[in-house]
Amino acid sequence: MNISTKTTLTTLVVVGTTFTLAGALLLREVRVTALEESHEQALLLSRTLAGSFAVPLAQGQHETIQRQLDQIAELPAQYPDVVSVLVADEAGLIVAATDPLRFGDPWPGEVPHAESLRETEGEPLPRIVVRMPIQSLVRAGSLEVVLSVREPWRAAREASRGILLSLFVGMIVFMATLTLLLNRLVVRPVKQLAHAAIAFSPGQAGLGLSLEGPREMRQLAGAFDGMAARLHDYTDTLEAKVAERTQELRNALEALQGANHRLQELATTDALTSVGNRRVFTDRLALELDRARRSSSPLSLVLFDLDHFKRLNDTLGHQEGDRALVRVAALLADGRRSIDLVARFGGEEFVLLLPDTAHADALRLADRLREAIAEKIVGCTASAGVSTFPDQASDGASLVRAADQAMYAAKSGGRNRVVGAQPAAAVTAGAAS
């Protein structure tokens, strides 16, 4: 076999191998692209659905959510990759789904507290599963969206066919031209140089190539060796810069998360007493009322007002008045359960929201806290009014109003006492008379 035949066969092998590797890499890139597009589509769709479901889920409007999911199921042309969607309430029960058989089932697995994305095994392509919490001002429920990558894979595969054809034609032309050139040049040194270049791997400081042949070939080998050494140095420098930038981004993200947490505290916490403010009380009252209606459970509200607080400020000064407010807030917070809410209602008024608490139990708790204020804070007493849904009120406004009227009755009755609101029927009858 002469050298020309050897050169031609070697060129065929090299070009064929290169084309095969390029085709395999292209198909791998097609798969990666399809998965990335599906990731973006899944996250975008999930965030959109979570945002649109937050208010209906918090308000218990499950039928509204189900109608939206039915529209997704009825429009496969607009949502071709959606396999299933599950929506669960805060209790972890599925309240809406694209599969009606899932209604009332418990949430599969752990309830998500943050956005997550994973891939499941599937043939021939995996599926994308996104889980995230559905949140309004407080936690409302959970969302799971499952998508296939069928459509992105099909589109990417179609686009790759033209690239593969162009690559094949280009390889054929390149092979013919290279064969002609190699047949006119010194073959052995070129083959040695090609093998050394193919064998080069990341981390090598150089090619370590020693050629026998014309001076030009030896110079070329030296140039390749120097280029490999520079590439090695550049790679080390680039890796160090990437690590440095990654740490900077991580630090910036931690700072941003801390700032967001502080902003959330400022928006929902009273600056002086560190308990909830009126805004968080108003939002929580609406949510707890919805929950009480659904579960037919009582919801009690206690409204405290410090007695003669203006006189305390005038006598001892506003700093002492502020200290008294802080100590009262601490006492109320220490006496509550984890599900209860303590908030500053305004001025020297504080409010306790007590889910699943009957009227008599709320009266006893309020009286215990009143006694604690009188015993532990010198020169300070409090009057309190207690109202309970549905006994004395039918909505949030009437619940607050009933507690406020009872608190003023406590003030009129001599202060430093707790008064319960009248039943709703008695209040209506008294107003009519």
The answer on pLDDT for 404 being more than 60 is: yes
Which CATH number is 344's domain given?
3.30.70.270
Which CATH number is 40's domain given?
3.30.450.20
Domain's final residue, options 154, 184, 210: 154
The residue with tokens 């203006």 is 310
184 — pLDDT class (breaks 50, 70, 90): low
The answer on pLDDT for 328 being more than 90 is: yes
By C-alpha distance, which of 302, 245, 292, 36 is closest to 156? 36
Tens digit of each residue's pLDDT (9 = 90 or more) over 363-391: 999 999 999 999 998 789 999 999 999 99
Pairing of strands 139-148, 299-306: unpaired
| Domain contains 382 | yes
Least confident piece of the model among 223-232, 239-248, 257-266: 257-266
| Domain contains 146 | yes
Domain co-membership, 262 together with 282: no
Domain co-membership, 246 together with 389: no
Tens digit of each residue's pLDDT (9 = 90 or more) over 91-107: 888 888 888 788 888 88
Say if residues 306 and 381 touch (Cβ distance below 8 Å).
Answer: yes
Domain co-membership, 257 together with 226: yes
| Domain contains 206 | yes
More confident residue, 432 or 278: 278
Domain co-membership, 282 together with 413: yes
Mean pLDDT of 269-280: 92
Domain co-membership, 247 together with 296: no
Domain's final residue, options 234, 268, 302: 268
Record the pTM.
Answer: 0.43
Structure token digits, residue 158: 């179609």
| Domain contains 52 | yes
Pairing of strands 139-148, 127-135: antiparallel
Domain co-membership, 294 together with 392: yes
Pairing of strands 127-135, 299-306: unpaired
Q: For a pLDDT cut of 90, what percent of the chain falls above it? A: 30
State how far the Cα of 11 lies from the Cα of 14, in Å rounded to an integer: 5
Mean pLDDT of the chain: 81
Where residue 106 falls (left for φ over 0; alpha for ψ -120 to 50; beta otherwise) is beta
| Domain contains 419 | yes
Domain co-membership, 326 together with 423: yes
By C-alpha distance, which of 98, 120, 124, 9 is closest to 45? 98
The answer on pLDDT for 320 being more than 70 is: yes
Range of the domain at 262: 193-268
Domain co-membership, 238 together with 346: no
Q: Which amino acid is present at 404? A: D
Alpha carbon 73 to its chain centroid, in Å, reads: 25
Domain co-membership, 366 together with 418: yes
Domain co-membership, 305 together with 375: yes
| Domain contains 2 | no
> How many domains does the chain contain in total?
3
Work out whether the CA dihedral 424, 429, 432, 433 comes out positive or negative.
Answer: negative
Domain co-membership, 200 together with 293: no
Domain's final residue, options 132, 154, 176: 154
Domain co-membership, 293 together with 339: yes
